Amino acid sequence: MASFEVQPVTGVIGAEIRGVDPSQPLDRSTVADLRAAWLEHLVLFFRDVDVTPDQQVAFARRFGEIQVPHLRTAHGGPPEINVLDQTHPKGDGADTWHNDSTYAPCPPMGSVLRVVQLPAVGGDTCFANMHAAYETLSPGLRRRIDELEAVHDIVPQIVVALERGHTTMSAEEARAQFPLVRHPVVRIHPETGRKALFVNCNHTIHIADVPRAESDALLGLLYEHVKSPELQCRFRWDAHSLVLLDNRACQHYAVPDYRERRILHRVTMQGDRPYGPAHAATAATAATAAAAAAPATEGHDGRSGAPTPALAARG
């Protein structure tokens, strides 16, 4: 029985957590219960909390190893924190449905988000459940995309970031650091085993090994499907809120409806290499073997014993 209240905000995604202060040390049982709620609802909202940058990093570390930003913005901040500083957000790239950093071989597991400056009006963030996105496709389409992989690319977003002054990394430097990578169109969540749609219009450039026209048509259909309101929730930020996001099975969209400065601090946790239905059995066998061989340690869920499934599945 959790020692805090979990209040769902929609029938498919998001829950508000009441009775937990992320700025304070948390016991093992509370962290384990929070993780269970996170896996169920994919994004957790904490209100009426005051969290410093160091406390934000410490809270994120309770759920996974910290991932130093793959691509730092030009706006400064501590090494673990990526500072997103925007005044004219339309077209910056956050105003599309996306998972973060899928151009990396191991995209982030999740993020802890905190707004430190808000416009007077606007600046909400929307979230969408990619388990539900997959499950509401037709059976025939699900069978088709279960077998597919897609190519993800950092360069399109680097070009935009350079144009807007958000980075100093050139497209050539970005390509050298992050070559094109293939991920399954449908990934298996490494902790729950559920299938999730795993393509997004920021980083996915085409479906592998199919004609380009077919790829464009299929991706277009999937991108439109993700926009369905029944898959989503919308969060209105304030100066005393914190968000915990599962990047493996949740996409987000920053609403670009403001013209005043908005500053967000993001801390990300290291993720695993995505695998799809075709490789699920192999990944499960490897995870079981790793768990059996591991010494008794304390996992990120705060319990002693073998590593959590997420840690065991990382390669």
Provide the annotated active-site residues.
98, 100, 252, 266
DSSP class of 93: S
Contact by Cβ (8 Å): 204, 98: no
Coil, strand or helix at 63? coil
Query: Are 282 and 16 contacting, i.e. CB atoms less than 8 angstroms apart?
Result: no
CB-based burial label for 98 (10 Å; 0-12, 13-18, 19+): buried
3-state helix, strand, coil split of the chain in percent (to 5) is: 30, 25, 45
Measured distance CA(315)–CA(307) in Å, rounded? 13
The C-alpha angle 284, 62, 58, rounded to 5 degrees, equals: 145
